[in-house]
Amino acid sequence: MVRITQQIFKPFLLVAMLSAVVSLATAQNPEAGKSAQPVKPAYKVVHDHAIGKGRGELLITETGIEFKGEGEDEQRHNRIWRDEEIKQLSISRDELRVTIYEASYIPIIPRKAPFTDGKAVRNGTEHDYLFRLTEGEITPEVVSALLARFNRPVETSVIPQGEMAESRLLFEIPVFHRHRAGGRSGILRVYEQHVVFDADADGDSRFWRYADIRDIGQLGRNRFEIATFEGQFGVDGKSYIFDLKRPLTETEYEALWTKVYAQGRPTGLRPALSHQQE
């Protein structure tokens, strides 16, 4: 009878002992019993003012972007922007530019001038806030998270690796991206869900969702244009001109054309030129 009782209660005794061990570990480390919370990226940054600059912390939260000024004087620049309040994001490894629908100000009297708290006049309807990271860098994982929730144009030289792995490559072509002065060689890769310019030099690469591409056009046999919705100097659009190191085939151009205009978007740039039309 004693043996049977021991066999019945032995499993219960083992469970009780395990529970006691877990309770003791939790008491020694209160965080051990809590579920892991997602980390919100936070960066030490320098924020440019119209005159001068200030330091603070930039946070990418689950619903927007927040800047917290460092020191009493800089705290008047504290800002919180929800995703829907942001017109555009421009991202590199060490910079984040946030474009907001609000008037910017041009100072005409410095704020610390004697007998005045400064004077400024409104200028335009958009305001760029530029933050330069002083520690760390913006990672592909952070860019992926922003792309997943942000419907407005995103200009990024940080290529999100998750999207690359999940999307099928349609074709690639070696190109030279023209700048106002000079340019940069690289590979233009066209995927099922996006287009990537993979530049030879760090910082010149670009990633575009098809929703961020406004138009495409073949400017002769060896030159190609991608026009995006990225804002530039108050204009809703920015173009990238590529010299092709080999001609696009008709199949390749048709595949990209179909992806860009799949939802019936009106065309603005010229279609592909045949060899007889050049």
Please report the pLDDT score of residue 72 as a whole number. Answer: 81
**Amino acid sitting at position 116:** T
pLDDT along the chain (278 residues), means of 10: 49 49 44 43 87 89 93 86 92 94 59 51 70 95 92 92 82 94 93 95 92 91 92 70 95 94 65 44
Q: How far apart are CA 22 and CA 233, in angstroms?
A: 60
**Amino acid sitting at position 214:** R
Q: For residues 174 and 187, is the Cβ–Cβ distance under 8 A? A: yes
Q: Strands (DSSP E) along 63-222, which ranges?
A: 64-69, 79-82, 86-92, 95-100, 104-109, 119-123, 127-133, 154-156, 169-178, 183-191, 194-199, 206-209, 213-218
Structurally, at CATH architecture level, domain 159-260 sits in Roll (2.30)
Whether the full predicted model's pTM is greater than 0.85, yes or no, is no
For tokens 């010299």, the residue is: 243
Cα angle 67, 60, 40 (rounded to 5 degrees) comes to 120
Please report the pLDDT score of residue 116 as a whole number. Answer: 53
Domain covering 42-133, topology: PH-domain like (2.30.29)
Please report the pLDDT score of residue 278 as a whole number. Answer: 37
- Answer whether 42-133 and 159-260 agree in fold: yes
Q: Where are the domains of the chain?
A: 42-133, 159-260
Please report the pLDDT score of residue 120 as a whole number. Answer: 46
